[in-house]
Amino acid sequence: MIGCEELTAAADDSMELEAFRQRRQMELQQQLEQQAKQQAAAEAESHVQAQEQQALDQAMKSILTSEARSRLTNISLVDANKADLMKRQLVSLHEQQKITIPVNDEQLKRILASLSKSRRDASIRRM
């Protein structure tokens, strides 16, 4: 009798262990699938951003003179966000037909100054 009970207990343990392994394998599979989805989404987002950046760069070739593009490149080396904002502003101004094409270096300096001035005016002051 004792031998039979031990076999039953061992079989129950074996079944429990197998069920645990299957659950763990399912969990790992779900984690892998989730990571793959996140990676695919990140790659798609990166691809979209690269296309947008390429479109902006192409627009700058038609909107700016070579000197102005050089200045904008220098700005992007110092502050990439400011350069990106400037590019978007230039495209917007071009679409609204508020600037003449091509924009030279002096015009770009004035646009930069107005952009910087408007940001300074929007500062929050304590009372």
The pLDDT of residue 66: 94
Residues 36 and 71 in one domain: no
Give the gyration radius of the chain's Cα atoms: 31
Instruction: Judge whether 57 lies within some domain.
Output: no
The answer to whether the beta carbons of residues 52 and 88 sit under 8 Å apart is no
Instruction: Judge whether 20 lies within some domain.
Output: yes
Q: Mind listing the pLDDT tens digit of every residue in the chain (127 residues)?
A: 556 677 677 778 889 999 999 999 999 999 999 999 999 999 999 999 999 999 999 999 999 999 999 999 999 999 999 999 999 999 999 999 988 889 999 999 998 888 877 555 555 566 6
Q: 90, 81, 101: which is closest to 56 by C-alpha?
A: 90
Instruction: Judge whether 127 lies within some domain.
Output: no
pTM for this entry: 0.62
What residues make up the domain containing 89? 64-121
Residues 73 and 44 in one domain: no
The pLDDT of residue 71: 94
